Amino acid sequence: MEIAIAIFAGLLCGFLNTVASSGSAVSLPLLMFLGMAPALANGTNRVPVLIAALVASVTFIRAKIIDWGLAAKILLPTTLGSLIGAYLADQVPSGNLKLLITFAVLIALVLLFTGLKKVLMRNLECSPRYRWQEVTFLVFVGIWLGFIVLDGSTYLLLVLILGMRLNLMAANAYKNLAIALTSAIALLIFSIDGNVDWKIGSLMALGAIGGGFIGARLAMMPMAKVWTFRLLVTIILLEVLQMGIGYLHLSKFLG
């Protein structure tokens, strides 16, 4: 059962992170269901995230979607931010970590119903924009990616589409490159601190290989715009439902 759960969690995490976002909303709770502490689950979860992002990135590179000059401009600030975020994650108590996860989910929910669908559906033909504002946002997104990852892909997509004016397919390609690099850095830091279960992480990585490949193929299809938004809405609503159930149980316990 543990093996099946780990592989399934890796598959969903890899697929959702590649084509949309919030794959960690599935994998993190499942890791905690297996009895992991939040810090250990947070570190172990980076294994499937990294593997899926690498598989997706290779698929996008083969499709010749990546401009390496632009990629370097995106990766530099996000990598810097991820170093800061991974360090902060190691310092924050578990109780505060859960509170921050709740905050991230609620922010993502608000963004979904304030015009995100229109942003994802539009076709942009203008040149990419790269100002100090975009650099600043990329650093902050990098901090969040290094810190928790949860919904970080949603924020990164928004910066790449709204700020840098990339279309959805290109934004997904650069997003996965950034996720791969920032996850590798975070995983290194977490593993040094002993916060990675490599047995479970390796099983999740097996599922993530398939999830990343399927997700990248779907992201390059014309219907990707519609399904990306639908997946984001479904996942984040499920996150909110899960949090509501958790708080309801907590209130009953305290009562």
The confidence score (pLDDT) of residue 199 equals 87
Domain, as residue range, for 18: 2-254
Higher pLDDT, 183 or 96: 183
The DSSP code for 161 is I
Per-range mean pLDDT, top range of 24-38, 137-151, 234-248:
137-151
Give the range among 31-40, 167-176, 225-234 with minimum mean pLDDT. 225-234
Token couple for 244? 């509501």
Helix axes 132-147, 168-192, angle to 10 degrees: 50
pLDDT in tens, 33-59: 777 777 788 788 888 888 888 888 888
Q: For residue 221, is pLDDT > 80?
A: no
Q: How many domains in the chain?
A: 1
The confidence score (pLDDT) of residue 74 equals 94
Query: pLDDT-based confidence at 206, cuts 50/70/90?
Result: confident
3-class secondary-structure state, position 84 = helix
Read off the pLDDT of each residue in 191-213 and give the average, rounded to a whole number: 83
Give the CA count within 13 Å in the CB-facing half-sphere of 179. Answer: 42
Instruction: Judge contact between 232 and 119, C-beta under 8 A.
Output: no
Higher pLDDT, 7 or 201: 201
pLDDT in tens, 69-115: 999 999 999 999 988 887 887 676 666 666 676 676 666 666 656 55
d(CA 203, CA 197): 10
d(CA 111, CA 207): 29
Higher pLDDT, 123 or 43: 43
Q: Which run of H or of E encompasses 62? A: helix 46-62
Query: pLDDT-based confidence at 223, cuts 50/70/90?
Result: low
What pTM value is reported for the model? Answer: 0.72
